[in-house]
Structure 1
Amino acid sequence: MIEFNRRVEDIPVYPAADSYGYDGELVKLASNETPWEPLGAVQEAAAQAITTLNRYPDPDKSLMRRRIAERCDIAPGRVTVGNGSCEILLAAAEAMLEPGAEIVYAWPSFSMYPHLAAMSGARGVRVPLDGEGRHDLEAMAAEVNHATRIVLICNPNNPTATAVSIDAIDAFLAELPRHVAVILDEAYVEFSLAQDPDESLDLLRRHSNLVVLRTFSKIYGLCGLRAGYALGSEQFRLAVDRVRQPFSVNAPAQAAA
Structure 2
Amino acid sequence: MTPPSTGPRLRESLQGIPSYKPGRPAPVATGRTMYKLSSNENPFPPLPELEEAVRASVHVMNRYPDLACGRLVGSLSERLDVPVNHFAPGTGSVALLYHLLQAVCEPGDEVVYAWRSFEAYPIAAQAAGANRIQVPLTADARHDLDAMAAAITDRTRAVIVCTPNNPTGPTVSHRELAEFVDRVPSDVLIVIDEAYLQFIRDPQAADGLALYREHPNVCVLRTFSKAYCLANFRVGFAIAHDPVAEALRACTPPFAVSTLAEEAALAALACENRLLEQVEVLVKERFRVVDGLRAAGLRIPATEANFFWVPAGAETDDFAQACEDAGVVVRAFPGDGCRVSIGEPAANDIVLEVGTRWAASHPG
1:6 aligns with 2:12: yes
For residue 218 of structure 1, what is the amino acid of its counterpart? K
Question: Larger % of helix: which?
Answer: 2
Q: What secondary structure is seen at the aligned counterpart in 1 of 2:60? A: coil
State the alpha-carbon separation in 2 of the partners of residues 55 and 188 from structure 1: 33
CA contact (8 A) 1:190 1:197 kept: no
Give the structure 1 partner of residue 148 of structure 2. Answer: 140
CA contact (8 A) 1:156 1:188 kept: yes
**Residues 96-143 of structure 1 deviation map (CA, whole Å, 9 limit, x = unaligned):** 112121000000000000012211221110000112111011110011
**Residues 131-176 of structure 1 deviation map (CA, whole Å, 9 limit, x = unaligned):** 2111011110011121111000000000110011011111111111
Q: What secondary structure is seen at the aligned counterpart in 2 of 1:12? A: coil
Change (3 A) 1:174 1:23: closer
Change (3 A) 1:129 1:229: same
Q: 1:76 aligns with which of 84, 89, 93?
A: 84
Give the structure 1 partner of residue 185 of structure 2. Answer: 177
Give the structure 2 partner of residue 251 of structure 1. Answer: 259
Q: 2:58 aligns with which of 38, 50, 57?
A: 50
CA contact (8 A) 2:22 2:39 kept: no
Q: 2:42 aligns with which of 34, 38, 41?
A: 34
Give the structure 2 partner of residue 100 of structure 1. Answer: 108
CA contact (8 A) 2:192 2:221 kept: yes
Unaligned runs of 5+ in 1: none
For residue 222 of structure 1, what is the amino acid of its counterpart? L
Cα displacement (A) at 1:187: 0.5
Unaligned runs of 5+ in 2: 1-5, 266-364
1:204 aligns with 2:212: yes
Cα displacement (A) at 1:17: 7.7
Please, what TM-score do these two structures have when normalized by structure 2? 0.66
* Greater RCO (Cα-Cα under 8 Å, separation 6 or more): 1
Which deviates more from structure 2 when the two are superposed, residues 35-44 or residues 167-176? Answer: 35-44
State the alpha-carbon separation in 2 of the partners of residues 90 and 23 from structure 1: 31
Give the structure 2 partner of residue 240 of structure 1. Answer: 248
Identity %: 37
Cα displacement (A) at 1:85: 0.6
State the alpha-carbon separation in 2 of the partners of residues 197 and 81 from structure 1: 25
1:118 aligns with 2:123: no
Give the structure 1 partner of residue 97 of structure 2. Answer: 89
Change (3 A) 1:138 1:149: same
State the alpha-carbon separation in 2 of the partners of residues 181 and 141 from structure 1: 13
Q: What secondary structure is seen at the aligned counterpart in 2 of 1:242? A: helix
Q: What secondary structure is seen at the aligned counterpart in 2 of 1:134? A: coil
Change (3 A) 1:193 1:23: closer
Which deviates more from structure 2 when the two are superposed, residues 30-39 or residues 100-109? Answer: 30-39
Please, what TM-score do these two structures have when normalized by structure 1? 0.92
Change (3 A) 1:40 1:24: closer
CA contact (8 A) 1:189 1:197 kept: no
Q: What secondary structure is seen at the aligned counterpart in 2 of 1:113? A: helix
State the alpha-carbon separation in 2 of the partners of residues 218 and 202 from structure 1: 22
Cα displacement (A) at 1:223: 0.5
State the alpha-carbon separation in 1 of the partners of residues 227 and 168 from structure 2: 17
**Residues 188-230 of structure 1 deviation map (CA, whole Å, 9 limit, x = unaligned):** 1111111488933221221111111111001111001000011
Cα displacement (A) at 1:14: 3.1
1:190 aligns with 2:195: no
Residue-pair matches, total: 255
- Measured on the aligned residues, the alpha-carbon RMSD in Å equals 2.1
State the alpha-carbon separation in 2 of the partners of residues 231 and 241 from structure 1: 11
Give the structure 1 partner of residue 70 of structure 2. Answer: 62
State the alpha-carbon separation in 1 of the partners of residues 199 and 22 from structure 2: 26
1:154 aligns with 2:162: yes
